[in-house]
Amino acid sequence: MKKSELYSHYNVQLDLAVEAQELVCGESGAEIPGVLMNVENLEHAKVTTITVETDEGSAAINKPKGQYVTIDAPEIRTNDYDIHEDITNALADQLIKLMELKEDASILIIGLGNWNATPDALGPQVISKTMVTRHLFQLTPEELKGNLRKVSALAPGVLGITGIETAEIIRGIVEHVKPDLVIAIDALAAGSLERVGTSIQLADTGIHPGSGVGNPRAGINEETVGCKVIAIGLPTVVNASVIAHDVVEGVFKQFVTNPALYKLYKGIKTETFSKIIDDVLSPFQGNLMVTPKEIDDLIKTSAKIIAGALAISLHPGIDRKDYERYLQ
């Protein structure tokens, strides 16, 4: 069974553009018209930039036109300060390129997600570590000029807590604060276990909270909030149907070495794969999401890396070797 068929059957959405691009290219065996990819290998990370230039490319990978930068850094899971510092700086470099901020720019950082649910608490965790400065400019603006930018931050919660669409809250704040840029941070759903807690995606197209877990809310983008939106996301969950599919595929791939079993495998209908997975996941009707038991540590580590990268990229006066002093 093709993964694209599986995703369609279980309504699985790929939050990472790089995974969507890999899926389409892998199954078609050809490049996608209107979608460009560039890969840069760093010491502790791989940076993949997907640029969707046309409507045709957008439809092919189901992503709006724009730029998507994915930093794959498996060593986020390690407990190594020096490596985390390198990843933080790599993320900061990509943010600087994507944001293109003026010296006097004002930025609103939004931490999306539910602070009561650990896999969904990335946004609020980043906000808790972020240095806000907007209020300081009312006191000593000349002293701060050229060193810091105006930064305000908020974790607005989720619809189930507030009863208000998050996009509505952000739009109201934007109308009052009038930032030049909104940075929205959210937990994502991955299409593979390898990327859970290890891949950070930046996008200049905004974000649709909850889309990866089948609970989409109103989009947060330039059209809905009134100013440019940069999205930062990190996968914290993966759909159980994807794992089940990989296991079934892995078992049958072993049959290839045995001619008799391989013949049996080739005779199995696609519907059989679906039925096997349906039976296993039937109590949850395909809506089971899986997260690792060490998700608490992964969220804390990732939030610190993202908050550090934001401090470096937003404030010219912060020394890259000394950025941790500025985290809450």
CATH of the domain at 79: 3.40.50.1450
Number of other residues whose CB lies within 10 A of the CB of residue 217: 16
Calculate mean pLDDT across residues 189-202: 94
The pLDDT assigned to 212 comes to: 47
Confidence of residue 281 (pLDDT cuts 50, 70, 90): confident
Please give the tally of structural domains in the chain. Answer: 2
Calculate mean pLDDT across residues 106-122: 95
The pLDDT assigned to 265 comes to: 64
Q: Lowest mean pLDDT of 162-166, 171-175, 206-210, 290-294, name the range.
A: 206-210
Considering only residues 274 and 95, tell me which one the structure prediction assigns the higher pLDDT. Answer: 95
> Domain span at residue 253?
243-284
Write out the two tokens for 190: 């991955």
Query: Which segments of the chain are extended strands (E)?
Result: 35-41, 46-52, 66-72, 106-111, 150-154, 181-190, 199-203, 228-239, 289-290
Same-domain check for residues 61 and 175: yes
Calculate mean pLDDT across residues 79-98: 95
CB 314 within 8 A of CB 326: no
What is the CA 252 to chain-centroid distance, rounded? 32
Same-domain check for residues 313 and 272: no
pLDDT digits (tens, 9 = 90+) for 181-192: 999 999 999 998
Q: How far apart are CA 14 and CA 32, in angstroms?
A: 17
Calculate mean pLDDT across residues 272-286: 77
pLDDT digits (tens, 9 = 90+) for 140-171: 666 666 788 999 999 998 888 899 888 899 99
**Res 206 pLDDT > 50:** yes
Q: How far apart are CA 66 and CA 35, in angstroms?
A: 10
Calculate mean pLDDT across residues 26-42: 91
The pLDDT assigned to 261 comes to: 67
Same-domain check for residues 131 and 232: yes
Considering only residues 281 and 84, tell me which one the structure prediction assigns the higher pLDDT. Answer: 84
Same-domain check for residues 46 and 110: yes
Same-domain check for residues 190 and 269: no
Same-domain check for residues 145 and 263: no
Nearest to 76 by CA among 315, 240, 236, 231: 236
Considering only residues 280 and 293, tell me which one the structure prediction assigns the higher pLDDT. Answer: 293
Same-domain check for residues 248 and 113: no
CB 86 within 8 A of CB 118: no
Backbone angles phi, psi at 112, to 5 degrees: -80, 155
Same-domain check for residues 133 and 250: no
Calculate mean pLDDT across residues 277-281: 81
Same-domain check for residues 214 and 259: no
- Of 73-77, 156-160, 273-277, the range with the highest mean pLDDT is 73-77
Same-domain check for residues 46 and 138: yes
Percent of the chain beyond pLDDT 90?
56
Q: Identify the burial level of 35 via C-beta atoms within 10 angstroms of its C-beta, where 0-12 means exposed, 13-18 middle and 19 or more buried.
A: buried
3-class DSSP state for residue 119? helix
Burial 264-291 (b: 16+ CB within 10 A, else e): eeeeeeeeebbebbbebbeeeebebbeb
Same-domain check for residues 112 and 57: yes
Same-domain check for residues 84 and 173: yes
The pLDDT assigned to 143 comes to: 64
Q: Identify the burial level of 84 via C-beta atoms within 10 angstroms of its C-beta, where 0-12 means exposed, 13-18 middle and 19 or more buried.
A: buried
Confidence of residue 262 (pLDDT cuts 50, 70, 90): low
The pLDDT assigned to 269 comes to: 67
